[in-house]
Structure 1
Amino acid sequence: MGNYRITKVNTLHEGWRRLLLLTIRIPDGRLIEREVFDSGDAAAVLPYDPIRRRAILIRQFRAPVMHSGDDDTLIEVIAGLLDGAEPEACARREAMEEAGVRLRALELVGALWSAPGATTERAHLFLAPYALADRVAEGGGLAEEHENIEVLEVDLDDLARMVRDNTITDLKTLALAQALLIRHPALFERR
């Protein structure tokens, strides 16, 4: 592999995200074109309360999911685009905006390509313990972004069941729920 080279970049649309048309010279010398959503990196975080054995998820409207024929909302972890911030700062900012939770310690799970065949987005994934006292605001997202987020505090047993039953349909949420199960199995033991 190798010897691929971008020879031309055209901006097809500039809006919330940019849609680019890349012209690429492939190893045999031919030119191919690929459409790419250029959005930059994102951060996603799964806050969990180890004392009360709960995790915070959110439910929000997702136009692509609705367009594909599914429900118009999706249950997911807290996430947002970096917008020039460091991944840790973004995770903390989004946790406060979307769920009203103040995060201190962040445990990096990894930086993973969201959908490498279509977007430049790489998601920095974190787990983050929190306590009831860290729920300092209502959350719900920013009104100017029309997020209308519903904050869900789910029991860790229910989260584990959602993983087992394949009811989590968002990839970053599944990755973080599985990471919590693997990295902190004691949280899921019967007490």
Structure 2
Amino acid sequence: MNTARIADRTLVYDGWYKFFRLDLDMPDGSRAERHLLDNGSAVAVLPYDPQRRMCMLIDQPRAAVLHADEAPILEAIAGNLDGADPEERIIEEAMEEGGLRLAELEFVSCVWSLPPVSTERVTLYLAQYASEDRVADGGGAHDENECITVHEVGLDRLRDLVLAGDLTDSKTLILAQALMLRRPDLWD
């Protein structure tokens, strides 16, 4: 396996995230400049109701999507870990973003979101819920200006979005595909 090492690290920006300029010593002896966004780790969940054949997705203003001049995208509920346990954190996020009480989580994977430039790894879960678990409005943390809209989407529509290539958030696509593979009975 080719191994490289970080020879030098320069902090370029320190705000909501940290941005570094790196010099890497490459396996062939050369030196290469790279850039790194240090945005910590995150967690995401795709809640689904097997009885009503629905799932919960959200949308919120995203700088990259706005920059691309595209319409808001549907996403799984997610949040930064900020040092917390992934299971505890996603249960908090489900309540904050979706007004949803979750109990049992099904681990899917822990994935690199953008390994060429980001430190972020996202722990992914599926979680069942029922209509009585929707105990609040959700909408996100008002002091964080999240402006989240909650959507309950039919599982047939979710499948159609996946198959048409219209579910464009990668963590949500992975979770939707995991649900389709693990629970094909929901579409029988």
| TM-score over 0.5 for the pair | yes
Q: Which residue number corresponds to residue 172 of structure 1?
A: 171
CA distance in 2, matches of 1:67, 1:125: 26
Aligned partner of residue 74 in structure 1, secondary structure: coil
- The 5-angstrom pairing of residues 1-191 of structure 1 reads 1-71=1-71, 73-189=72-188
Deviation at 1:21, TM superposition (A): 1.1
Tell me the matched-pair count: 188
Identity of aligned residues (%): 49
Residue range with higher mean Cα deviation, 92-101 or 20-29: 20-29
Residue range with higher mean Cα deviation, 25-34 or 176-185: 25-34
Gaps of 5+ in 1: none
Deviation at 1:2, TM superposition (A): 3.0
Gaps of 5+ in 2: none
Q: CA RMSD in A?
A: 1.0
Deviation at 1:28, TM superposition (A): 2.3
Deviations 1:67-99 (A, max 9, x none): 12322x221100111001111111111111100
Quick one: which amino acid aligns to residue 103 of structure 1?
Answer: L
CA distance in 2, matches of 1:59, 1:102: 19
CA distance in 1, matches of 2:166, 2:5: 40
Aligned partner of residue 93 in structure 2, secondary structure: helix
CA distance in 2, matches of 1:160, 1:28: 45
Deviation at 1:46, TM superposition (A): 0.2
CA distance in 1, matches of 2:40, 2:67: 23
Quick one: which amino acid aligns to residue 159 of structure 1?
Answer: L
Structure 1 residue runs of 4+, over 3 Å off? none
Deviation at 1:102, TM superposition (A): 0.8
Quick one: which amino acid aligns to residue 152 of structure 1?
Answer: H
Quick one: which amino acid aligns to residue 40 of structure 2?
Answer: G
CA distance in 1, matches of 2:69, 2:59: 17
CA distance in 1, matches of 2:45, 2:51: 18
Deviation at 1:146, TM superposition (A): 0.7
Aligned partner of residue 60 in structure 2, secondary structure: strand
Deviations 1:29-80 (A, max 9, x none): 2221111110111001000011111100001111111112322x22110011
Quick one: which amino acid aligns to residue 149 of structure 1?
Answer: I
